[in-house]
A and B are shown apart, each in its own frame.
Chain A
């Protein structure tokens, strides 16, 4: 639901004639409930054995801890936890990249020796073509080719870790989506007299994102940004 729709809904709610509602509540409160109905309600033995708290749990469904009711605090915790985990994931990816750098460096250190050995073997093959050195030379060329292949695989793994790092931007975008939900809850909170009570008022908060675009529209939006900058530059509104 867009923010303007929420605002409209809240305005509608405020405009509504609450006298009618109050009247219904009053009638409901004053209505006499026959005692017979209450007394004759069967009480199951297992509920009595389980004790009052558990009985309440069985009758009304899941019994939440007090903290669980504080939806905004809970969502804040979720955001915080997700940010922590993503940072840990990022650290792991950075460690993988460091190890890749080290491995690549080792290969770079080995390569000059391999090249020297190759030259040495080429010299033998050239001067003693009929000896077993030729076969060994072929094996050796394969080893060099495998080392090249290892280098290429390191590049592929590194590119993939970089791509994974870029994808982790989802955490910030998801966090802002949750912040938007929180802003709706906060608006409702004001109208529902602490039904969703929390300590949110004491925390400084970021302005809620108005627009979070879908990934499939990203290219179009990027082009729009470029067009706006260009237009404003042409008009001399910005440098």
Chain B
């Protein structure tokens, strides 16, 4: 049976700590690029004042934003769960600063949990902007 002392970093890789930030960045980039591609051709004005091209972020881009947001939130919830499980391993409370493999494991989990929580809030804020404004203006 595995003991707490066997939990070296190789069983809890460090890349998990910045992973939530990467999810946040990808969500932002995907929303930004989609909006830019959809709204970009809306240049010029037809006689009578109507704009040429797309002026509303509705239909296809909105469906894409929904997919990006749900996928990002699922990934972040999974990272929150992984972080929480590592953070609550055994019987210890923060700051997890003992020089032991178990505390390193808990510390990485705790950091992941906090960063994933922040990233989840950030993704929700980006999504709010997209879903509440819905215009290329």
- A-B interaction: no
By a beta-carbon cutoff of 8 Å, the part of chain B in contact with chain A is none
